[in-house]
Amino acid sequence: MRAVTTICLTVLLSSCSAIYNVSEVRPVVGQSSSVKVVPVTSENVLLANALTPYKPLSLPPVFDQTTTLQGSAVPQISAYKPQAQPGPIATKLPPLQQPKSYRIGVGDVVLLATPNAESALDEINGLLAAQNARQGYTVQDDGAIAIPTVGRVNIAGMTLQEAQSALFQKLVASQIDPTFNLEISEFNSQRVAVGGDVGDPQLVPITLTPLYLDEAITAAGGVQTIDPSYATVRLYRDGEAYQIAATKLFAKNDIPKVLLQTGDRVFVDSEYSVELAEGYLQQELNLARFQRDVLEEQRDIFKTRVSMDAVDRDYVYVFGEVKTQGRWPLPFDRYASLADAMFEQGGISPVTGNPRRIYLLRKNPLQTAGPMEITAWSLDAQNTANLLLATELQLRPNDIVFVASQPITNWNRVISQLLPSISILGTANAILD
């Protein structure tokens, strides 16, 4: 019975090729395909790369954009128009004038004052009621003030001295003791409008003291811009416009003092607002942050689609004696090499892989009919220096990378398949004996 067992074992070992089929790449010419094995050399690497032109897939435009809000992938938003910093302005001043005496006008309030209440002015009904009494009278629209008993006295357009003389004559004509003093208590007839970048825009009255341009601005709270170097003082008079830089107006220099007159309009204009400039910068920063958020969101969406295999990709397939077999995507925006695919999949198995038999299988892209024409680029990496050729051999979509096994690996696998049969034979032999 042992002889029978020996004969069966011999038959099994002699027919190992029927038990285990070794994966291998061989030149074949058949009805379904034609395989041509070509060694990988420096010259053949250049030939392989040139025979199959290829352009790697590109990342979406959103990955090329920065926070400049340019490109169709991001909403077209821009900050408010920035300001241009003004240059020096030309100084234009009105003709110089000499101060003149103040002339009483409509709306002014004048005061009549007496030294004591025992004087003849008590004869004016209600005019004086106590010692050093003071009674105010408003210049009405006809230019006159109305004094009880005395009547109306026209003083508009007169200086203070001229008005006192007119009142004196009127009191004498009315047979009233003209012992009095005339004052102006409210200056309402002559004003200058001051506005713009000042602390307190207002109507500044012209009084007995001449009013100058710098004094009117100071009376209105002064220039209030953060950076007065960009402020311009403009004066509008009788249809003409005059201007001077605020810093020059208030500097100690030879600029003559500008005398103001009634009806003048003064406006402090900040041609370049520091607040607006800072606001524009902040707006740009906010928009840049918004831009970054939009870009990050769109990039995250694309990465999610890639992770879910919902994006068209180019793949190569790696199998044989490598640590990890599977489908490997070609990268975006660059070429990948044979070495990239092998080492991305863990490299050649050091125990079972045969470095002398590394293949890159590629279909002829120009073929339109007939048996499939396949070129097997064969790399012998037993000499490790030849792996440099693997870094130059570019991959193309649907390439297949295959690493053959060692001869001893094939034998070991045959033995591993035979062991169950030998065990069965041994058990049968023991039963028969």
140: number of CA atoms within 13 Å, CB side?
A: 9
pLDDT value for 316:
94
Burial of residue 68 (CB within 10 Å: 0-12, 13-18, 19+) is exposed
Q: Could you give phi then psi for residue 72, rounded to 5 degrees?
A: -75, -15
User: Residue 99 carries which side chain, given as an amino acid letter?
Assistant: P
Contacts of 192 (CB under 8 A, 6+ apart): 203, 204, 205, 206, 211, 216, 260, 261, 262, 263, 264, 265, 266
Residue 47 has which token pair?
Answer: 């030939």
pLDDT value for 407:
65
DSSP class of residue 311 equals S
pLDDT value for 277:
58
pLDDT, tens digit only, all 433 positions of the chain: 555 445 454 544 454 444 444 456 666 555 566 888 999 999 999 999 998 899 999 998 888 776 454 444 445 555 555 556 566 778 889 998 999 999 999 999 998 876 654 544 454 544 444 334 457 899 998 999 988 878 899 999 999 999 999 988 888 888 777 777 888 999 999 999 999 889 999 999 999 999 999 999 999 999 988 777 778 888 999 888 898 888 888 887 778 899 999 989 999 987 665 556 556 667 777 777 877 888 888 899 999 999 999 999 999 999 888 888 999 999 999 999 999 998 888 888 877 888 888 999 998 877 777 778 889 999 998 888 888 999 999 999 999 999 988 765 454 554 555 455 545 545 545 555 5
**Stated pTM of the model:** 0.48
Residues for the chain: how many in total?
Answer: 433
Strands (E), 170-230: 181-186, 191-196, 202-205
Separation in Å, CA 88 to CA 81, 227, 232: 22, 14, 10
Closest CA relative to residue 362, chosen from 104, 12, 47, 63:
47
CB distance 149 to 123 below 8 Å: yes
Contacts of 113 (CB under 8 A, 6+ apart): 132, 133, 134, 180, 181, 182, 183
Greatest pairwise CA separation for the chain in angstroms:
174
Cα–Cα distance for residue pair 393/384, rounded to 1 Å: 16
Residue 408 has which token pair?
Answer: 């001893």
Q: Could you give phi then psi for residue 146, rounded to 5 degrees?
A: -105, 115
pLDDT value for 365:
77
